[in-house]
């Protein structure tokens, strides 16, 4: 019978511990292929050259594209869909000076995450690019009065230099009281608008012969209300009793100078949901 020395036992134990240590450090995630959808593994890969504004609201009011910061009226930061979000309220909003690329939009895609109750005291303005002399802004997106949790009403006004048009969708289920992605696109070449909820196309609307967007006398970009509800008003019209403010949260606002495809919108929403 062979004798087993103390050195042999100690060596075996040392080798075992070393192997166990190596095993503990093994992370299968490092060997897994990256998650992709429609060929994208990150939102930043989706038409990056056409992104003209991005506001993450992660403890800052800075537009990541231009590097400029907004002017705050009463809003704060709160846990958001991703990181932090802008917390709105009555008479609370943020204003930004839009860059030349935003003022020069001919087509666009606007996307944001929002969590807000249905309108109770007036329309809920979310994003507005003001026009200094028009009732509605160059862009005005809001939730219409009469919305309910099971039948939301979404409106968006756009301007082509001669008159505005209304993108209108009623009967939207699950629009309020939970994090929801709203994406609106307008293609100047085809005069066609599209509305998406949570990455899914829910509405297509064509304005025959309307053509490219053409913003004139653009003022500030506003988050949290329409442009006539700021103090002072950003246009030649003052506040209305049928209009109110975003009292919930707004997050991950992106504005493109191009039209994202259905697949790109869907990929963007799914990737955001995974923190990508």
pLDDT score recorded for residue 250: 98
Confidence check: pLDDT of 11 > 80: no
Look-up of token digits 């609106």? 184
pLDDT > 90 in the chain, percent: 85
What SS3 class is residue 100? helix
Question: For residue 72, how many other CB atoms are within 10 A of its CB?
Answer: 14
Chain centre to alpha carbon of residue 210: 26
Task: Name the token pair of 183.
Answer: 């994406």
Nearest to 158 by CA among 195, 112, 197, 116: 195
Average model confidence (pLDDT) for the chain?
Answer: 91
Domains and CATH numbers, the chain: 31-273 (2.60.120.200)
Q: pTM for the complete prediction?
A: 0.88
Model confidence at 26, pLDDT cuts 50, 70, 90, reads low
CA distance 157 to 106: 14
At 102-157, the pLDDT tens digits run 999 999 999 999 999 999 999 999 999 999 999 999 999 999 999 998 999 999 99
At 172-214, the pLDDT tens digits run 999 999 999 999 999 999 999 999 999 999 999 999 999 999 9
Chain centre to alpha carbon of residue 112: 2
pLDDT score recorded for residue 66: 95
Q: How many residues can be counted in the chain?
A: 276
pLDDT score recorded for residue 13: 45
Strand partners, 53: 255
pLDDT score recorded for residue 75: 98
pLDDT score recorded for residue 212: 98
At 88-98, the pLDDT tens digits run 999 999 999 99
Contact call for residues 142 and 226 (beta carbons, < 8 A): yes
């Amino acid at each position: 019978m062979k004798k087993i020395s103390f050195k042999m036992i100690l060596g075996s134990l040392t080798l075992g511990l070393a192997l166990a240590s190596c095993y503990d450090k093994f992370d299968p995630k490092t060997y897994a292929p990256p998650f992709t959808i429609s060929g994208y593994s990150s939102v930043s890969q989706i038409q990056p050259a056409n992104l003209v504004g991005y506001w993450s609201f992660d403890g800052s009011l800075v537009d990541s594209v231009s590097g400029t910061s907004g002017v705050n009226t009463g809003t704060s930061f709160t846990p958001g869909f991703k990181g932090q979000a802008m917390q709105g309220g009555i008479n609370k909003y943020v204003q930004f000076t839009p860059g030349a690329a935003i003022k020069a939009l001919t087509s666009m895609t606007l996307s944001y995450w929002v969590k807000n109750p249905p309108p109770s005291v007036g329309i809920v303005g979310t994003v507005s690019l003001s026009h200094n002399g028009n009732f509605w802004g160059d862009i005005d997106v809001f939730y219409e009065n009469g919305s309910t949790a099971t039948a939301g009403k979404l409106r968006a006004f756009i301007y082509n230099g001669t008159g505005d048009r209304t993108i209108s969708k009623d009967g939207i289920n699950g629009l309020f009281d939970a994090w929801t992605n709203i994406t609106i696109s307008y293609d100047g070449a085809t005069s066609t608008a599209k509305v998406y909820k949570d990455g899914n196309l829910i509405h297509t609307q064509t304005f025959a012969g309307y053509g490219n967007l053409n913003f004139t006398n653009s003022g500030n970009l506003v988050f949290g209300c329409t442009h006539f509800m700021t103090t002072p008003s950003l246009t030649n019209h003052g506040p209305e009793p049928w209009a109110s403010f975003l009292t919930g949260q707004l997050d991950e606002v992106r504005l493109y100078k191009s039209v994202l495809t259905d697949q790109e919108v869907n990929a963007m929403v799914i990737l955001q949901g995974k923190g990508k």
